Amino acid sequence: MTRKHSTPPLASARGEWSPSSWQSRPAAQQPVYPDPRALQAVLAQLSRLPPLVTSWEVETLKQELAEAGAGKRFLLQGGDCAESFDDCESSVIANKLKILLQMSLVLLHGSKKRIIRVGRFAGQYAKPRSADMETKNGQTLPSYRGDIINRIAFTESDRVPDPELLLRGYERSALTLNFIRSLVDGGFADLHHPEYWDLGFVDHSPQADEYRRIVDSISDSLKFMETVAGMTAGELSRVEFYTSHEGLHLHYEQAQTRRVPRRPGWYNLSTHFPWIGDRTRSLEGAHVEYFRGIVNPIGVKVGPSMKADELVALAGILNPQNEPGRLTLIHRFGAKKIDANLPPLIEAIQKAGKLVLWCCDPMHGNTETTKSGLKTRNFESILAELEQAFDLHRQHGSILGGVHFELAGENITECIGGARGLNEADLSKAYKSQVDPRLNYEQALEMALLISRRMARP
Ligand code: PEP
Ligand code: CO
């Protein structure tokens, strides 16, 4: 492919950053509240509530992501496309943790690298939409934008953005994180007891045997190590989970942007790892302005419309000090486009000497609509994009340091394919997503087994 030589887009001069400096720029995908005073009252409350995460957790994650960028760790990021308030219940949350834990064990086994586990949870409540309005049976109403903004029911009043939902979302994020932290502290993720992580239906899964062999081999190594060292590997009775969400609703993110004692800079303490979506990453836009000033590690989704010089300019704005671990580029092109789209971006980033962590989201470029109008994704396309991502990075002397999935720990039927051969007709059996289709428990585990084998290859 020939590369176009164009002048790099110059970001207009940027003044002093503040948590509200984004407000002087065009902000895409923001809801319009009918009563601005009600919004201000909610934001004032939000900014006084205690934070959900701490600056030292955020700094630890940044350090770990820096190591992933250098090929010493591997990032596994996954969860719902959009969390829903209704799903804030113990079994749904525990099952999401379990599938992420199982996948991380499988990836650890294949890659021989420590896995960084990041959930799309405890705050993944706001969604960008392609259309502002939605029409059903002749009626046109504002699109649903996630539970933190408006309600899914198709009535005029439900679709009006309601600022109270920002508080409900913050509280649900806190409830979710509180439960996750308690499970992790209570030994739920103890490597000595992987049997705790089995999901009810693992026995019926085509991958059950291979998964159990991996678990047994890890347990045996652990016992061996502990016997040789004459002590228990205490650190292994606890694994870390970090949170992430798309930082879409900028008033909400601003309300959580704080200074902390004894550390410089501003932290977004609603999540460890916020990311900018593919629809809101304009160089001149409000999202890039907000994100450039926070010190968290951040992600940016990179879709097919991204130009090489634009990406280099973006990396310059978002990570001017070229700090390792600060910037993760989450590419999502689709199995048919990655081959043409990724190499020029890798080359440009290398040529500009930018330090980034490359991560592949094989979900968002592979969405299709069935004849009956359901959104789905094919297991084969997802896997095909991932395999090409590993190959292309290797061929260009770069490192694929992470993967990003939309998945659930339940037996849903939203994506087709996989060992059980789900087909279009099966989709209606348990299609629960309000937005994008997720891999179900078995498909997610199978995906992890397949990429783990791929990573084990020399
Ligand atoms: C998402 O991650 O759910 C999403 C909307 O992704 P993207 O910004 O890559 O389209
Ligand atoms: Co999605």
Amino acid 149: pLDDT = 98
> Model confidence at 5, in pLDDT bands (50, 70, 90)?
very low
Mutate to test the pocket of ligand 1, among 280, 341, 364, 438 (most ligand atoms within 8 A of CB): 364
Domains of the chain, by residue range, sit at 49-122+170-456
- Could you tell me which residue, 131 or 201, shows the higher pLDDT? 131
The pTM for the full model equals: 0.94
Question: Domain 49-122+170-456: which topology?
Answer: TIM Barrel (3.20.20)
> Model confidence at 200, in pLDDT bands (50, 70, 90)?
low
Q: What is the token pair recorded at 215?
A: 């678990």
**127/149 Cα distance (integer angstroms):** 9
Q: How many CA atoms lie within 13 A of 61 on its CB side?
A: 31
Q: Whose CA is nearest to atom 3 of ligand 1?
A: 81
Q: What is the token pair recorded at 123?
A: 């705050």
Ligand nearest to the CA of 129: 1
Tens of pLDDT, residues 347-376: 999 999 999 999 999 999 999 999 989 999
Residue 81, ligand 1, Cβ within 6 A? yes
CA of 378 to the centre of ligand 2 (A): 15
Q: Is the pLDDT of residue 192 over 90?
A: no
Q: Residues within 5 Å of ion ligand 2 by Cβ?
A: 81, 436
Amino acid 223: pLDDT = 75
- DSSP, residue by residue, 182-249: HHHHTTTT-TT-GGGG--GGGGGSTTHHHHHHHHHHHHHHHHHHHHHHTS--GGGG----EEEEE---
The identity of residue 39, as a single letter, is L
Question: Which of 289, 217, 321 lies closest to 20 in space, CA to CA?
Answer: 289
Q: What is the token pair recorded at 307?
A: 């130009």
Ligand nearest to the CA of 300: 1
> Model confidence at 227, in pLDDT bands (50, 70, 90)?
confident
Ligand nearest to the CA of 126: 1
**274/291 Cα distance (integer angstroms):** 9
Tens of pLDDT, residues 95-149: 999 899 989 989 998 999 999 999 999 999 999 999 999 999 999 999 999 999 9
Amino acid 11: pLDDT = 46
Q: Whose CA is nearest to atom 1 of ligand 1?
A: 81
